[in-house]
A and B are shown apart, each in its own frame.
Chain A
Amino acid sequence: MIAQSQSQEELRDLYRELILDHARSPRHFGKLDGATHSAEGINPLCGDKLKIYFSIDADGRISDAKFEGSGCAISVASASLLTDTVIGLKTEAALDFFSAVVSRLSGRMEDGERPLSKVDLGKLIALEGVKEFPSRVKCATLAWHALNSAIRNESETVSTE
């Protein structure tokens, strides 16, 4: 039963306590009144649909962030962790997190992204379990792509497809 325990371990690594906690009780959940930036993220494969809001003040600091929508445990936990992480950061620092998370989870750098900085992922490391589950990387990065597009003021909706 070695196989049994190994695959169970990988599953437990994916659904760590912290992930399940954020999936069950997402932080900063809801609509943000007076948001200056927002973007929607859609993952058509599993029907995840998240909208993420930011209040960014004049000197480029994220003073508040919230998200709403529905999705799997991974995408909701990731969005929740995202809001926890970026509130109080300058937008450049938030984008550094975006690059670091995406490259760390997908194991590659995307075109045009900043080189991997020495960002300390902190509790975002909990998302790392998805590396063993290629089809779930999109769930974990969905909110981050939405953050990228909201801050850069690009299209309103990003899709993982």
Chain B
Amino acid sequence: MTMSEQISKVTELATSLSGVAKCRQDFPCLAQTISDHPLVYLDSAASSQQPLAVIEKVVDYHSHDHANVHRGVHTLSHRATEAYEGARDLVQTFINAGSRSEVVYTSGTTESINLVAQSFCRPKLAPGDKILITHLEHHSNIVPWQLVCEQTGAELLVAPINEAGEVDIDNLFRQLESGVKMLAIAHVSNALGTIMPLREIIEKAHSLEVPVLVDGAQAVPHISVDVQELDCDFYAFSGHKMFGPTGIGILFGRETLLDAMPPYQGGGDMILEVRFDGTTYNDLPYKFEAGTPNISGAIGLGAAVSYLQTVGMHAISAHEHELLQYMTGQLDQVDGLRLIGTAADKASVQSFLLDDIHPHDLGTILDHQGVAIRTGHHCAMPVMDFYGVPGTARASLALYNNQDDVDRLVAALTTAKEIFR
């Protein structure tokens, strides 16, 4: 790269960074005070705020276009169907799925994972078969597998993590080699922020013919996801963590696999023909979408995808990466603060403990200064057990956060130390 190329690259990055920083004003919920302090929202990993573009899209749909989808000949039903299916196309492009049949609407990550456990795995599992997960999974990528193990007599294996919060890849590979029927793994850990080296892991799994489900709930809002490049078999995520509404999510599934799977639930929309002597199921993806769906949620999710594409996933990642480094650095300088989750490759999240202050007390003290963080076990109790703590405080970043937010967090922690001195 020549000097001038380098300079233009740097300026490009700088402009895109300031572009991301400006996004904050798109989020009405952030413009308020809590206990008379301007809100600092550092809990996007639990649920992110919605930009006006999403809120307005949903209001507009409810105000002008609402009807049931796929059912009416009338104009409103047509409009609703167009908007609902249009959002599916947006999601398909966003994650680069090979076809729109591979994009199934669900109520969220949790339902997506349960669908795969019940419809893809359960019919194949026999007593003694093994399913592999990792130690840092969210409860929703643990319990659905425990259920299917109980139902079939299969066994759940767990790949361990190290002190930094990284999965022990050698161990994971050894367990894969020992013969497992399924690997289910997070893309990004919600409690620790660890980014998993998925390309390498999926390649290994596939060389052993092990199908892979990726829990992408914490990845999609932060890093660019290309399901074809990852070559995963299933990819699950939630609308409400990527600036869309609650109650809507996606299951991406490889078409050949989805095709061979029995339906997950029965009802309207998932059938072509119903007779008492037998029913013909609908084509993909509708086979997995029984009943009237969350139409406005899907439309809102589509708007969130458009928003993310306009800002640009690469610009978002760069902004957040820099901010996470700043935050971790600042937190590390707070006397008595212990960082939990120090993997080399991380996104968006930093868990920590301060002195012997219980995380719940910390959460209250910060909230009273307008700083919203999550405290507790983050639906990852095995991770808490690993570190021998009842819970942690967790600050999580999104595209709308900036250095001021981090400074306010650190100042609020100083107050907590004074109160507990």
Contact = CB atoms under 8 A, between A and B. Distances in A.
Interface of A: 2-4, 6-8, 10-12, 14-15, 20, 45-48, 70-74, 133, 135-136, 139
Contacts of A20: 420
Given A7-B368, A46-B391, A74-B361, A15 B35 contact: no
B358 A45 contact: no
Interface of B: 35-37, 357-361, 363-365, 368-369, 375-377, 390-391, 415, 419-420
Nearest to A132: B368
Nearest to B375: A46
- Interface of B (DSSP majority class): mixed
Nearest to B418: A8
Contact of B361 (A4, A6, A73): A73
B419 A72 contact: no
Closest 8 CB pairs of A and B: A3-B36, A46-B360, A72-B358, A72-B360, A47-B390, A7-B35, A73-B361, A7-B368
Most buried by A among B37, B363, B415, B419: B419
Most buried by B among A3, A10, A12, A71: A3
Nearest to B415: A8
Contacts of A70: 390
A14 B376 contact: no
Nearest to B36: A3
Contact of A47 (B361, B369, B376, B420): B376
A48 B419 CA distance: 21
B35 A3 contact: yes
30 contacts: A2-B36, A3-B36, A6-B36, A7-B36, A7-B37, A8-B415, A10-B35, A10-B368, A11-B364, A11-B368, A14-B364, A15-B419, A20-B420, A45-B360, A46-B358, A46-B359, A46-B360, A46-B375, A46-B376, A46-B391, A47-B377, A47-B391, A48-B360, A71-B360, A72-B359, A72-B360, A73-B357, A73-B358, A73-B361, A73-B420
Contacts of A47: 360, 376-377, 390-391
A53 to B, nearest CB: 21
A43 to B, nearest CB: 9
A11 B419 CA distance: 8
Contacts of B35: 3, 7, 10
Contacts of A2: 36
Contacts of B36: 2-3, 6-7
Contacts of A11: 364-365, 368, 415, 419
Contacts of B365: 11, 15
A139 B360 contact: yes
A71 B358 contact: yes
Contacts of A135: 364
Given A3-B35, A3-B37, A15-B420, A72 B369 contact: no
Contacts of B364: 11, 14, 133, 135-136
Nearest to B421: A20
A45 B376 CA distance: 7
A11 B359 CA distance: 15
Most buried by A among B361, B369, B391, B420: B361
Contacts of A6: 36
Nearest to A74: B361
Nearest to B357: A73
Contacts of B415: 8, 11
A33 B365 CA distance: 37
A7 B361 contact: no
Contacts of A48: 360
Contacts of B359: 46, 72
Contacts of B390: 47, 70
B383 to A, nearest CB: 13
A127 to B, nearest CB: 14
Nearest to B419: A15
A74 B364 CA distance: 11
Contacts of B420: 15, 20, 73
